[in-house]
Amino acid sequence: MIYSMTAFARVEKIYSQASIQWELKSVNHRFLETQFRLPEALRDMETDLKALIRSGLSRGKLDCVLKLNTIEPGRIEINTAELEQVLRSIGRIRKASPHVAKPNALDILRWPGVISASSKPGKKLRKAIKSTFQATLEQLVEHRSREGEGLRSILLKKLDEVSTLVLEARGVMAGVGKARHAALLKKISALDLSVNPERLEQEVVMLVQRADIMEEMDRLEIQVNETCTALKGAGPHGRRLDFLMQELNREANTLGSKSVLPKTTQISVDLKVIIEQIREQVQNIE
């Protein structure tokens, strides 16, 4: 099955203790890269969540955003050790400078680290966050699958166009020997020269050999068949398809450089345009 690397998914669930919403967005990337936006209290969950991603995806850049609204009121907790350290520091300052005004309780509570507005989410909430993430990830994979199937249809049509152009080039090349022979005779006739028929035939053969693109067309057909086979096989497909596009482009370039006829030159240009269109689509495949 073909999977696109471009997709979006959003799932929101409301539990007794919180409203949980996950948003996942993926784009094409050479490797699998993940980025999370989580509350600090949930940073330790990243490892487990990344393991879930790796079980379902192999390539792509994935942005994961959690929006968490807890229904239960938060609890204020005091960091006793930090508070005692602040109070000792205040005592030393007061001893060195008795005229300094005493801080009130709110001033002390505002000191960073003295209080935390809420405790870490419990196991039940963490389990709900993880299960919601799993549901969102499944939705994302489904989206990537649907888009991937669309890409496969587009690519197969483009590959048919490549095959049609190769077949057209074969038809053109079938008469290239006669065409080169006639052109050479015309030039000789214009110069009013006498030419050895055997020598003339040798020159025609050499010209045809230099202009021969049958090997390139054979390889183009092989690469097209390989690409079709890859699209129908088990994934991941992206890197193999990248390689095949490089091979197709190389053969099209060689065909163009060896072409001696305007028609085959135009076919080479058309091939390169279509192959580039295929390559751009391949960049989105996992």
Query: Average pLDDT of the chain?
Result: 84
The answer on 136 and 15 residing in a single domain is: yes
- pLDDT value of position 245: 94
- pLDDT value of position 70: 72
Identify the bridge partners of residue 9 per DSSP, sorted by sequence position. Answer: 24
**At 175, is the pLDDT very low, low, confident or very high (cuts 50, 70, 90)?**
low
For residue 277, give every residue at least 6 positions away whose Cβ sits within 8 Å of its Cβ, in sequence order, or none: 158
* Nearest partner of 64 among 90, 32, 96, judged by Cα: 32
Whether residue 174 is predicted with pLDDT greater than 80 in this model: the reply is no
**At 269, is the pLDDT very low, low, confident or very high (cuts 50, 70, 90)?**
very high
- pLDDT value of position 20: 93
**At 34, is the pLDDT very low, low, confident or very high (cuts 50, 70, 90)?**
very high
The answer on 93 and 130 residing in a single domain is: no
The answer on 232 and 195 residing in a single domain is: yes
For the chain, give the number of residues.
286
Of 2-6, 247-251, 259-263, 267-271, the least confident: 259-263
Whether residue 121 is predicted with pLDDT greater than 80 in this model: the reply is no
The answer on 97 and 48 residing in a single domain is: no
In a domain? residue 1: no
Residues 91 and 37 sit within 8 Å (Cβ to Cβ): no
The position carrying tokens 């006498």 is 194
- pLDDT value of position 62: 96
Question: How would DSSP label each residue in 19-81?
Answer: EEEEEEEEE--SSEEEEEE--GGGGGGHHHHHHHHHHH-SSEEEEEEEEEEESSPP--EE-HH
CA distance linking residue 251 with residue 229, whole number of Å: 19
Domain that residue 108 falls in = 77-116
Helix (H, G, I), strand (E, B) or coil at 212: coil
**At 179, is the pLDDT very low, low, confident or very high (cuts 50, 70, 90)?**
low
The position carrying tokens 């580039």 is 276
Enter the pTM of the model: 0.68
52: domain CATH number is 3.30.230
The answer on 213 and 272 residing in a single domain is: yes
Q: How many domains does the chain have?
A: 3
Whether residue 139 is predicted with pLDDT greater than 70 in this model: the reply is yes
* Nearest partner of 49 among 131, 145, 139, 119, judged by Cα: 131
CA distance linking residue 37 with residue 263, whole number of Å: 56
The answer on 175 and 133 residing in a single domain is: no
The answer on 156 and 27 residing in a single domain is: no
The answer on 132 and 105 residing in a single domain is: no
- pLDDT value of position 72: 55
For residue 10, give every residue at least 6 positions away whose Cβ sits within 8 Å of its Cβ, in sequence order, or none: 21, 22, 23, 24, 136, 139
The answer on 163 and 43 residing in a single domain is: no
* Nearest partner of 177 among 197, 206, 198, judged by Cα: 206
164: domain CATH number is 1.20.140
The position carrying tokens 């890859």 is 230
Question: How would DSSP label each residue in 163-194?
Answer: HHHHHHHHHHHHTHHHHHHHHHHHHHHHHT--
Of 11-25, 107-121, 214-228, the least confident: 107-121
The answer on 241 and 210 residing in a single domain is: yes
pLDDT (mean) for 89-93: 86
In a domain? residue 218: yes
In a domain? residue 264: yes
The answer on 278 and 184 residing in a single domain is: yes
* Nearest partner of 131 among 225, 13, 250, 261, judged by Cα: 13
Whether residue 100 is predicted with pLDDT greater than 70 in this model: the reply is yes
pLDDT (mean) for 260-268: 85
